[in-house]
Structure 1
């Protein structure tokens, strides 16, 4: 059994990861019996662990309706592209955080928008597409997007289904921002513009919605 994992060193770094994926027995066997796992066995063990983790992720995403949107946005068990943007463009960390919050925001029943006084059952959709009191900020965002991406891509995005539009603006690369359509660099610029625009709109949202 590993002792004080607060100490510095390889074991202290690797043990929390092994514990997370129920692999701590590998370290315990080594410490207790100097039993070293062979490379082929280790590779097979890791492959199975990753598959199990991915299956667990997809089971959770598909079984919980509140996670549908984030599941459509982030479809791979890899580092989310939005976090990569944060690492590369630290000045956008706050703005990207707003995108993440919008992606997981849920509505428990109907709510009334305190800005436009209309009912809605999807807070994120209302905020991003429908609230009439945010039309100036929304138009400014779309204008900045139009100046950044190809006009045909912009038209496809504008004419798409509302849910697809929202998911694309929140970081999905499944429909209109596929890697074969737009490069990683272009997508990063697009998401920085979107995140900045949504962040400016977000200043209105804290007092925007009240439950009725």
Structure 2
């Protein structure tokens, strides 16, 4: 992305149509990369990789460029041009004229905590001099805005609930993190993720047991009679892996909570486990669910 958007900090007055086209292209690539269906909700596909939207990425580049301008020598050409444009912006605002360009774009990004840097510079000549500190502030502010919007989007539809309960931070989802650590299990992790994002609110018919269900994922993992023997082995391995009390608490959880746990959610019980122990549980779950999928589709 940095190469594809080289110089994007100088783009300005991008129309909603142009931005939407770039966002659509990114969503298409992200879904193809992860092997998702076209109808997979974009809010899940993008956030499972923990990547920002195109608009957020461009915002980051613009504010980092602003930091470079503020840190540059006052006698440099770029600093003189910046001060000239800044003066023009202030003058035109006082005359109630329409502004365009780099500075106006920064103001329109709705990141007041970052734009305040310009205000402080105008009023007091104060700005963050450290490149690393400014970069940290920019990334944190945009990440916070991105997560806030993501949480809002997930709350708009009940079909996102399973994903929202499993993936709680805007960062690469646990399945991809583990896949990088252990590529030999990547396909099994990907299968868990696929089941998590699969639309389950339509009534479907199970060919294996001849029953209808409104949640095919829950039906497959917990209910389908054709998988009873394999499921019993799976649950027995959970009992052998975890302390007795923990395995009882997990297996006696509400069905939806149990499904989320088996797909990668860190439930109340697993919250107390360190990362290595949690990884062991996910490895067991991904291996057994992969075996169930083979049997289910054979």
- Tell me the TM-score normalized by structure 2: 0.59
> Which runs of 5 or more residues in structure 1 are unaligned?
208-212
Partner of 1:58: 151
Is the aligned partner of 1:25 residue 2:116?
Answer: no
More contact order relative to length (CA 8 Å, sep ≥ 6): 1
Give distance in 2, aligned partners of 1:76 and 1:33. 39
Alignment size in residue pairs: 198
Partner of 2:18: none
Give distance in 2, aligned partners of 1:110 and 1:61. 22
Deviations 1:135-179 (A, max 9, x none): 11111111221111111100111111001111111111132211x
Please tell me whether the aligned partners of residues 64 and 135 of structure 2 are also in contact (alpha carbons under 8 angstroms).
no
Deviations 1:67-118 (A, max 9, x none): 1101100111233222222122221111101100111111352111000000
Please tell me whether the aligned partners of residues 26 and 37 of structure 1 are also in contact (alpha carbons under 8 angstroms).
no
- Tell me the TM-score normalized by structure 1: 0.81
Please tell me whether the aligned partners of residues 196 and 263 of structure 2 are also in contact (alpha carbons under 8 angstroms).
yes
Partner of 2:265: 172
Partner of 2:183: 90
SS of 2:267's partner is: coil
- Return 35-44 or 161-170, whichever deviates more: 35-44
Give distance in 2, aligned partners of 1:20 and 1:204. 44
Give distance in 2, aligned partners of 1:24 and 1:84. 26
- Return 140-149 or 125-134, whichever deviates more: 140-149
Is the aligned partner of 1:156 residue 2:193?
Answer: no
Give distance in 1, aligned partners of 2:52 and 2:251. 43
When the two chains are superposed, the root-mean-square deviation of aligned CA atoms in Å is 3.1
